[in-house]
Amino acid sequence: MEARDVPISVPALATEPQFAQRLREHLEGKQLLDRRYQLQKVQGGHVALPVLEEKLSQLWLPQEMPCALVQIQDPVPSRAVRRQTPAQKLREDLRQLLGESWSEELERDVPHAWQRHGDLVLLSEDSFRAAHWENLGPALWETVASALGAQRLAKRGRVLPDGMRSPSVTLLLGQDGWVEHVDNGIRYTFDVTKCMFSAGNITEKLRVASLPCSGEVLVDLYAGIGYFTLPYLVHAGAAFAHACEWNGHAVEALRRNLALNGVQDRCHVHHGDSRQLELQDVADRVNLGLIPSSEEGWPVACRVLKSTGGVLHIHHNVESVPVPAPSQTPVLQVEQGSPEAANTDREAQGLTEDSGKETLGARIRPEWQRWAEATAARIQELLVELHGQLWCTSILHIEPVKSYAPHVHHLVLDLECRPVPST
């Protein structure tokens, strides 16, 4: 419990030490004892037992025990409270707030987990659904925030199917939803009520940060708030980035993030539909970080590539059939000899998917390889059409980012694209 959560004083019944145990049993039996605070010695050698303020009207002083109503100054939180997890504390504080109207239905609505963004706690969609919570007004959110040690509260809804990945988050307490994160030494700020936070892409952000991009020009077709643009600029050594994003809220966060990390002069933000991007022959590398598919961006990715070629990082969700046991599965190994083959250490640690037992990473599934080959062939066709000469594509690496749904994996294909010199 934080100091600011402890009231200055709490009501208590003071009695002589020899009656303290009996009085305690009596108060416990009547559910009047306030277990959040320790018993305390008070004037005259008496012992004071904290009682619940909201139940004072029900307090009836037992005649056989001499006792008096007093106030404990600076009450000390009980050991049980000090040991409480935030989830237990939340439940306990809500139970106190609701008093008699506490019910099993309400208890089921109290969340066990939440996302913390600094002083803002983001609650899940399935919490506080019962209509009764609304009767409590602002006191509910003040109690929740205080129990969780937060200043601001927001609640998640569904991600809107509007193509902008708008998060449908409602601010419940506080003035605004802007939060800040530091991730791999990079500072990100964004408004949780307006922009999506893709925590699951952390491995890909780290991988991107370690790619050797010194002096290169990057085009990020789906920049969001800069989750990939920034690692390319800050860590991977990219000389310049063109970041394209059509969601105005994300663009605002992206601009702030570029400035926060001192790389605003090395990035041009294109606010609009990346399919309409008026660039060509500029990129050494193109990031296509859109799932379930970035296919609509393939033509523009091919167009922006330099005439000397470059690398595309193509994100896609790929479905595969369930795998019974690793030993029975025909698998293809990650290509050896490519710079990215060095990733196999991290991959071999595996990512957990579906059942939670199967590991990803070291094994490239046949469906993934088939998707990568089909993509390489399609991109080659597009390159030939757009550049009017022969090009070749080669699969450098297939990175499983995360399990997206049962048997569906978010993959990234690193595809090298080069013009074939005419003889």
Ligand X SMILES: C[S@@+](CC[C@H](N)C(=O)[O-])C[C@H]1O[C@@H](n2cnc3c(N)ncnc32)[C@H](O)[C@@H]1O
Task: Pick between residue 147 and residue 290 the one whose CB is nearest to ligand X.
Answer: 290
In the complex, minimum distance from the CB of residue 204 to ligand X, in angstroms, rounded to a whole number: 8
Residue 250 binds ligand X (CB under 6 A):
yes
Least distance to ligand X, CB of residue 175, Å: 24
* 112 contributes a contact to ligand X by CB under 6 A: no
How many other CB atoms are there within 10 angstroms of residue 390's CB atom?
A: 12
CB 391 within 8 A of CB 383: yes
From CA 54, how far away is CA 98, in angstroms rounded? Answer: 10
* Binding flag, residue 404, ligand X (CB under 6 A): no
Q: Is 241 helix (H, G, I), strand (E, B) or coil?
A: strand
Q: Which range, of 78-86, 111-119, 245-253, 362-370, touches ligand X by CB under 6 A? A: 245-253
Quick one: which of 273, 354, 367, 416 contacts ligand X (CB under 6 A)? 273
Strands 67-73 and 115-117: unpaired
Residue 144 vs residues 34, 92, 231, 396, 402: alpha-carbon distances, Å = 19, 10, 35, 49, 32
At 387, list the tokens. 């550049």
82 binding ligand X? (CB under 6 A): no
- C-beta of 179 vs 250, nearer to ligand X: 250
The answer for 279, left when phi > 0, alpha when psi is -120 to 50, beta otherwise, is beta
- Min dist. Cβ of residue 289 to ligand X (A): 3
**Count of residues in contact with ligand X, rule CB under 6 A:** 19
Q: Which is nearer to ligand X, 50 or 167 (CB)?
A: 167
289 lies in the binding site for ligand X (CB under 6 A): yes
245 part of the interface to ligand X, by CB under 6 A: yes
String marking each residue 181-220 x if it binds ligand X according to CB under 6 A: -----------------x--x-------------------
Beta bridge partners of 119: none
Cα-Cα-Cα-Cα dihedral of 171, 162, 187, 271, to 10°?
-120
Pairing of the two strands 332-333 and 310-319: unpaired
- DSSP assignments along 330-398, one per residue: --EEPPSSSGGGGGHHHHHH--EETTTTEE-SSEEPHHHHHHHHHHHHHHHHHHHHHHSS-EEEEEEEE
Nearest distance from C-beta of residue 162 to ligand X, angstroms: 9
Contact between 252 and ligand X by CB under 6 A: the answer reads: no
Q: Which two tokens stand for residue 273?
A: 């539909």
Q: Does residue 224 interact with ligand X by CB under 6 A?
A: yes
Taking the complex as a whole, how short is the minimal distance between the CB of residue 250 and ligand X, in angstroms? 5
Give the separation between CA 243 and CA 316, rounded to whole angstroms: 19
User: What is the nearest approach in angstroms of ligand X to the Cβ of residue 232?
Assistant: 11
Judged by CB under 6 A, does residue 231 bind ligand X? no
Q: Does 257 bind ligand X (CB under 6 A)?
A: no
Residue 228 binding ligand X, by CB under 6 A: yes
- Contact between 414 and 311 under an 8 Å Cβ cutoff? The reply is yes
Out of 37, 114, 190, 222, point to the residue binding ligand X (CB under 6 A): 222
Question: Of the candidates 278, 275, 191, 188, which has an alpha carbon nearest to the alpha carbon of residue 233?
Answer: 188
The residue nearest ligand X at its CB is 224
Please report, as residue ranges, which positions from 141 to 170 form the binding site for ligand X (by CB under 6 A). 163-165
Where does this chain bind ligand X (CB under 6 A)?
163-165, 198, 201, 222, 224, 227-228, 244-247, 250, 273-275, 289-290
